[in-house]
Amino acid sequence: MFVIVTDGQENASAREYTKERLLEKIKHQTEVYNWLFLYLGANQDSISVAQQYGIAPDKAINYSADEKGMRRYKELLAKKMQQVGSAAPTALQGVVWDDEDRKE
């Protein structure tokens, strides 16, 4: 499981990783090694942004960058970690953010 948590702002990443290169790497790791990529974005359209990197809409979720949002983010991540821990490696792609996760 690879979790991306971001506010969407570019501020300190190495410049060697372009959007295209990240898209290629994520696609490779997902298809060849069955990695699970989850995207949590604060104060942005996380689904749209995640899709730009090849991450499926059901693997992306929004949260608010405030105290309540941070508590929710921790709850969501803990829930997904439990699901991943009990999933067979071949079933990882079935771990998704569902309607209940998207409720605020």
pLDDT exceeds 70 at position 101: yes
- d(CA 21, CA 42) in angstroms, rounded, equals 23
* Local confidence band at 104 (pLDDT 50, 70, 90 cut-offs): low
Q: If you search the block for the tokens 């929004």, which residue do you land on? A: 62
Q: What is the pLDDT of residue 11?
A: 65
Q: Model pTM?
A: 0.81
Cβ pair 36, 3 in contact under 8 A: no
Rg (CA), the chain: 14
Dihedrals φ, ψ of 66, to 5°?
-135, 180
- For residue 38, the cross-strand partners are 3
pLDDT band at 76 (very low <50, low <70, confident <90, very high): confident
Could you tell me if 52 and 23 are in contact, meaning their C-beta atoms sit under 8 angstroms apart?
Answer: yes
Q: Tens digit of pLDDT for each residue in 1-24?
A: 899 988 877 666 666 778 899 999
- Residue spans of beta strands (DSSP E) within 1-104: 2-6, 37-42, 60-63
